[in-house]
Amino acid sequence: MDLEGVSRSHPIKKDSWKTLLTLAYQSLGVVYGDLSTSPLYVYKSTFAEDIHHSETNEEIFGVLSFVFWTLTLIPLVKYVFIVLRADDNGEGGTFALYSLLSRHARVSSLPNCQLADEELSEYTKDGVVPAANSAFGSSLKSTLEKHKVLKKVLLVLALIGTCMVIGDGVLTPAISVFSAVSGLELSMSKEQHRYVEVPVACVILVFLFALQHYGTHRVGFLFAPIVITWLLCISSIGVYNIFHWNPHVYQALSPYYMYKFLKKTRKGGWMSLGGILLCMTGSEAMFADLGHFSQTSIKIAFTFVVYPSLILAYMGQAAYLSRHHIVASDYRIGFYESVPEKIRWPVLAIAILAAVVGSQAIITGTFSIIKQCSALGCFPRVKIIHTSSKIHGQIYIPEINWTLMLLCLAVTIGFRDTKSMGNASGLAVITVMLVTTCLMSLVIVLCWHKSLFWAVCFILFFGSLEALYFSASLIKFREGAWVPVALSFIFLMVMYVWHYGTFKKYEFDVQNKVSINWLLSLGPTLGIVRVRGIGLIHTELVSGIPAIFSHFVTNLPAFHQVVVFLCIKSVPVPHVRPEERFLVGRVGPKEYRLYRCIARYGYRDVHKDDVEFERDLVCSIAEFIRSDRPECNLSPEQLEDNEKMTVVGTSSSNLDGIRMSVDEADFSEIASTSELQEIRPTEKAKKRVRFVVPETPRIDREAVEELQELMEAREAGMAFILGHSYVKAKRGSSFMKKIVINFGYDFLRRNFRGPSYALSIPHASTLEVGMVYHV
């Protein structure tokens, strides 16, 4: 579900037909693996207990009618024609909708947002530039911005949808693989099958999760052929069953059969909707994986390949069952019963492969969602491994992978039947869809600037349909549906506790910032010895002097000659362009050699390794020094309030800017051009550093000296200074706050990755200083 970067270079409007068809072909393997395997378990889950197949065929035709209209209205009409248009600069999913809304209404959960972030290219793309809102739209926007409670409700709603997707990452592999393996039931007795099915499914699941660290790029080329073969297989079997058993089954597509079905089955029919809704499991992947392909390619693949194949498969199963009414037990309603006996074993093999592909998609998508949550401060830091050097979106998170595997095995061994798994998976799927519907209604008003009428129509029509299915799933809470609720509750608590603790810690940093007057009173030497080297002080603050700096100055006898307050922050856009990566400015007067550097990343961006990041960081400061214009003397208040920040790109994106060369050879070995002038250090050093600076525009002598100092400092080395925080609830806090901060947040902080690991900072040059935060 997450092969990020597959189509990053293919803008939608410029795609040729060849490119579109190629992307549509690739999307079949990445996006539709889960959705295409749903015929394995939909009828079996529907007829598990609530309704029974009778000779009148009213039940089977009613279910077919429900399946047809459900697939038509929700995946086709809602997602393909409406929701896919609500992309966040090409990205889709629950977080994309939340990001889109947070930029329009300024309800972002990120504490260190700046006005400068709104000038990013991705921030103002795709119609995000403020437009003329309707009166209701303006009123709704101001209401959301004023009330903190509404901001929290919006955040919790997005997190609930995200947690349900993670829960689906546990349930989808279990039900897909278990249903595929259930084809063994027709080749052995029921007693034998009971002891074979679960172990075989568990072995496949363990194998699936064990392969994750290799990355999907090694076997990804097989995904599309497997899914295409599977779709061709089920559609061909469907056509055969239609013509061989009941050519008139197409009449059941009429909505009249839904009415007859509900009239006859009543409460049992309503409860069976929990099984019917499984026909659209995986539909959310069309929107979630939008950033990997394009709207048109996903629409083509679903409308002309997936949708017809699924309809033919369900019609074929219904045609077969309409002529076979004597069933030994509910498992005879399964998919494999309608497969001709001669090809059952090949179909079983293809089904297992298709189930693995569908499971792989949702597992990879879960990794991607965890990474996004972590980037936006809503999940503890985890170890992220990039499994492909070419496709940077392919990631692997060991802790999450093994947690998903254990939970998946627990669900498979605990339930041992499709019915309970279906109840659990159905609730997770429909909850995500309800969240998407709610967020989309806000997008229609706030982002698309449509009238309230269209938003109300959207939420009433699709919301009522999904609410019907949601009620049918929720009624089976004790029969398996409690699993996604329990999983989502646990993940939601982890996310909210981490977000709350992080936000309170940031508030403490803001309230305890050091005054600029204190800095000026120390003088350029800061009252201590300034030694060669660059000191990087990591902080979450985007303005002001962090309290940890005063802690260093008052307790250490010496400090580096160049100090950089480094803030690595996420912004509510999917990607930040390399030429807009850094914001660089001064802290205090020029002679203090104190700089602030803010590195900005989108929630789908990949952080660079430490060597490349160091180079870009130093070059950005050098470029700032070169382009900085001296200002007249400012008062302490002006220095603190008017901290000017300059946008500087990475060295690879700024070809006309300063470049840095680091080697151990003599500089004479490196040729220079007539267009460039070199600034070299006066002393001989083992690690030789030079800046290559464009001749024009000419820089003044002070800037040359400052660059010289920066270069000497870089030669001496860089030290990363991190504050090891111990967050405690302050006296007088409520009992609940003490529980959340002193136990919940503290437990997560101790047992997940620390900032030095998460930011790929080399341990050898890291200095951690403990501080207690009373929030």
Between the two ends of the chain, the Cα-to-Cα distance in Å is: 40
Mean pLDDT of 307-320: 94
Alpha-carbon distance of 266 to 415, in angstroms, equals: 27
Report phi then psi at 595, rounded to 5: -125, 155
Alpha-carbon distance of 20 to 34, in angstroms, equals: 22
What DSSP designation does 283 have?
T
Sheet strands side by side (includes 582-586) = 645-648, 582-586, 594-601, 558-570, 529-538, 718-728, 766-774
Alpha-carbon distance of 387 to 401, in angstroms, equals: 14
What DSSP designation does 77 have?
I
pLDDT of residue 700: 76
| pLDDT, tens digit (0-9, with 9 covering 90-100), for 684-703 | 445 666 667 666 566 778 88
* Sequence letter at residue 223: F
Alpha-carbon distance of 212 to 403, in angstroms, equals: 13
3-state secondary structure of 556: coil
Mean pLDDT of 488-498: 92
Look-up of token digits 């914001």: 583
434 and 466 Cβ atoms separated by less than 8 Å:
yes
Alpha-carbon distance of 750 to 725, in angstroms, equals: 11
| pLDDT, tens digit (0-9, with 9 covering 90-100), for 316-362 | 999 998 888 765 444 456 788 888 888 988 999 999 999 888 888 78
What DSSP designation does 78 have?
I
Alpha-carbon distance of 312 to 169, in angstroms, equals: 28
| pLDDT, tens digit (0-9, with 9 covering 90-100), for 389-438 | 655 556 788 889 999 999 999 999 998 888 888 889 999 999 999 999 99
Position with higher pLDDT, 629 vs 74: 74
Residues in a beta bridge with 585: 596, 645
Residues in a beta bridge with 596: 565, 585
609 and 585 Cβ atoms separated by less than 8 Å:
no
Look-up of token digits 């939420």: 459
* Claim: this prediction has a pTM higher than 0.85: no
